Structure 1
Amino acid sequence: MNTHPTATAPDGLPRPARRRQRWFGARDPRSAARLAIWVMVSAAGVQVAFALFGTQSLIADVGSWLAAALLLVVSGLLARTDPRSPDEHGLLALLPLGGAVVLFGLNWLTSDTSAAAQVFAVLPTLWAASQLRPVGAWCTAAFSACSNTALVLHLEAWERAIPDAAFVAATLAMATALLTAAGNRHERLVHRLREQATVDPLTGLVTRHVLDAALAGAVGGGQRHGTALVLVDVDLFKTINDRHGHPVGDDALRHLGEVLRQAVRGTDAVVSRMGGDELAVLLTGCPPDVAERRAQEMVAAVRAHPLPLAGGDCLPLTVSVGVAQSPTHAGDVRTLYTAADAALYRAKEAGRDRAVSAG
């Protein structure tokens, strides 16, 4: 019996599901689902119009009604389902493939290789190229091109079928290439914007937004030994800026961030810049006595690592630190901040260059 747990990716998904999503998933499942519903309802309306007003055979009429019903049923199911769930398994990629199969079947039944029919068959590829990741988009384009080639070769003379098939295949390839490239550029831009929102550009530390999210999860997640919040304030930071200039002040903040990162273990700590000259450290799985000791170690580490200056001198740095622990000093994030801030104020009042614990 296999007792090994399923390997998971960093986002919590099993690795096979994460791989399927990366290859065949949608860039934005909700947006992809909304657009798919709109396209399928519109296509169903077109099929109904063909059945009611078109001059086609009985078999084609039946096919149009069945296709319209299928499109409406799938649209209804998709509207009632959270698209993120099927997207985790790459199932949204089946929508354009299914659409291509339906269109291929209708065109085969009606022996329709007109320009209108072939242009209509491009819709699944356009949806896939604009909504899916590249692998899924190119699979849809390849299937549409192959099915259209089989159709025209079966129904038309070779001298006409080959140019038609080549033209449609080239159109599908160019549309897929352009839309997937645009999607990739958009994702890179979004990734950079998210990085700017989560990483402080000066120190490279995470922003308060990230710290707050981690703190809320730690305090509300029932950590076995509790969670500690350490607030760190640079002593006499305004004096550093006035005497040495703001560039040195910026260097001091970067240096301090690196010292704090070295002083804590990255696996159970989050170091953040709160704003200005104030930093914070989140310590998970940390009882009160350990939190106090770690805070004292941070103060000592800063004192032991002065800031090297351009002329070869070193600028001594000290910090005042306030530490509070949940659930000992606070039961929620807001009161934890309040307790740590009060402890930080007492550290400054007591002469700076020290750590003070709440309570």
Structure 2
Amino acid sequence: MTTPPVTDAAPDARARGRLQRWFGTRDPRSAARLAVWVMLPAAAVQAGFALLVDQGLVADVGSWLTVAVLLAASAALARVDPQQLDARGVLALIPLGGAVILSTLNWVTSDTSAAAQVFAVLPTLWAASQLRAPGAWLVAGLSGISNAVLVLHLEPLERAIPDAAFVAATLSMATALLVHAGHRQERLVAELREQATVDALTGLVTRHVLDAAMAGAVGGGSGHGTALVLVDVDHFKTINDQRGHPVGDDALRHLAEVLRRAVRDGDAIVSRLGGDELAVLLSSCPVDVAERRAHDLVAAVRANPLPLADGGFLPMTVSVGVAQSPTHARDPRELYSTADRALYEAKRGGRDRAVAATTTPTGPLSAA
């Protein structure tokens, strides 16, 4: 029995990544919908020209072929997953094809009217609003060049040069404005996503990120299990009342940094759940290791008091509860509630300590 050769998919993945960066759309589904909404009216307009305007046999045939191509492309976009088309750069072919078809029709009909040239702007506008910058500029360049060739061939030179320059300037300005607007929108979306995943005060990830990571780790049956460590600042209200809320904020930032230094980045997620409660998710962590690391976190906070603006130091302590799956819980909800009960045991026991859960899982194994 022969073993099939192993192929390296990395070059293909890199090639697809470059294709996406250069000729991909910002939102494939939105781009596909907008393309359909542009092509269907364009097909109707072209059919109207073929029916109502005496264009000659060649122009009529070209018009009806254009209508057929636009309708077929619209039907294909409605049936095929836009994500797959975008991954192969197919969506970028829509404005390129549109520019070529419009230029060909104008050439066949010898139409250099303002209406024909303005209609040729549509592929460029679609590309500038939907494609990445390189693809958008490619379409704008092709449209500008094809229009210049057309008018230089069909018009007197003294008219052709101003017309070609005007259309090229219009295409360039529209592309620049829309590409800039697209970049700005992407930056705003990225900032909003970051705000949703990163706590602004501490720089730790939010509860949403922790929950997603815990759902993926708990119940998977791999590694040594997953541990959740809940951390609560002792007497945090007293810090706010006596020192002021700015010092309280400093305390949370300081605690976040202590926890980050105390855990290994590769196997831990440190999160702020809200208020003065933080959490550490430890993947591939046996129960005895989880308990030891919970005690280490308590010791690390105790050994690192908060530096104050007057040069002094504010001692800080934390109460910690730790639970591990599958030893103490079968699903993320049970893991959190079990760790939370252990945390309150630590607070009732005098604070500045870590308490491990002692309960066993009660529900069926969840494939989270």
TM-score range, shorter chain: over 0.9
Q: Deviations over 1:2-29 (max 9, x none)?
A: 8685449xxxx93332222122211111
Q: How does 1:158-197 map to 2 (within 5 A)?
A: 158-197=157-196
CA distance in 2, matches of 1:4, 1:300: 50
CA distance in 1, matches of 2:320, 2:106: 74
2:292 corresponds in structure 1 to 293
Q: Deviations over 1:311-338 (max 9, x none)?
A: 2211111111111222222222111111
CA distance in 2, matches of 1:21, 1:222: 36
2:136 corresponds in structure 1 to 137
CA distance in 2, matches of 1:17, 1:288: 43
Q: Is residue 245 of structure 2 the alignment partner of residue 264 of structure 1?
A: no
Greater CA drift, 40-49 or 209-218: 209-218
Q: Is residue 133 of structure 2 the alignment partner of residue 119 of structure 1?
A: no
1:318 corresponds in structure 2 to 317
CA distance in 2, matches of 1:174, 1:261: 48
Q: How does 1:77-92 map to 2 (within 5 A)?
A: 77-92=76-91
Q: Is residue 80 of structure 2 the alignment partner of residue 74 of structure 1?
A: no
Greater CA drift, 273-282 or 234-243: 234-243
Q: How does 1:1-359 map to 2 (within 5 A)?
A: 5-7=8-10, 14-219=13-218, 221-359=220-358
Distance 1:97 1:221, change over 3 A: farther
CA distance in 1, matches of 2:289, 2:122: 62
* TM-score (normalised: structure 1): 0.94
C-alpha contact 2:270 2:278 (8 A) present in aligned 1: yes
Greater CA drift, 212-221 or 167-176: 212-221
Count of aligned positions: 355
Greater CA drift, 115-124 or 82-91: 82-91
Q: Secondary structure at the match of 1:92?
A: coil
Q: Secondary structure at the match of 2:231?
A: strand
Greater CA drift, 212-221 or 26-35: 212-221
CA distance in 1, matches of 2:38, 2:216: 40
C-alpha contact 1:227 1:284 (8 A) present in aligned 2: yes
- Letter of the aligned partner of 2:70 in structure 1? L
Distance 1:2 1:205, change over 3 A: farther
CA distance in 1, matches of 2:319, 2:106: 76
C-alpha contact 1:223 1:284 (8 A) present in aligned 2: no
Unaligned runs of 5+ in 1: none
Unaligned runs of 5+ in 2: 359-368
Residue 280 (structure 1) shift: 0.8
Residue 295 (structure 1) shift: 1.3
Distance 1:43 1:189, change over 3 A: same
Residue 222 (structure 1) shift: 4.4
Q: Secondary structure at the match of 1:14?
A: helix
Distance 1:258 1:17, change over 3 A: same
Distance 1:285 1:240, change over 3 A: same
CA distance in 1, matches of 2:6, 2:243: 61
CA distance in 2, matches of 1:170, 1:220: 60
Q: Secondary structure at the match of 2:248?
A: helix
Q: Deviations over 1:142-188 (max 9, x none)?
A: 01111111111222222222211111111100100111111111111
CA distance in 2, matches of 1:37, 1:333: 44
Residue 32 (structure 1) shift: 1.0
- Letter of the aligned partner of 2:102 in structure 1? L
* TM-score (normalised: structure 2): 0.92
Residue 90 (structure 1) shift: 2.9
CA distance in 2, matches of 1:358, 1:59: 83
C-alpha contact 2:39 2:70 (8 A) present in aligned 1: yes
Identity of aligned residues (%): 72
Residue 224 (structure 1) shift: 2.0
Q: Secondary structure at the match of 1:204?
A: coil
Greater CA drift, 39-48 or 211-220: 211-220
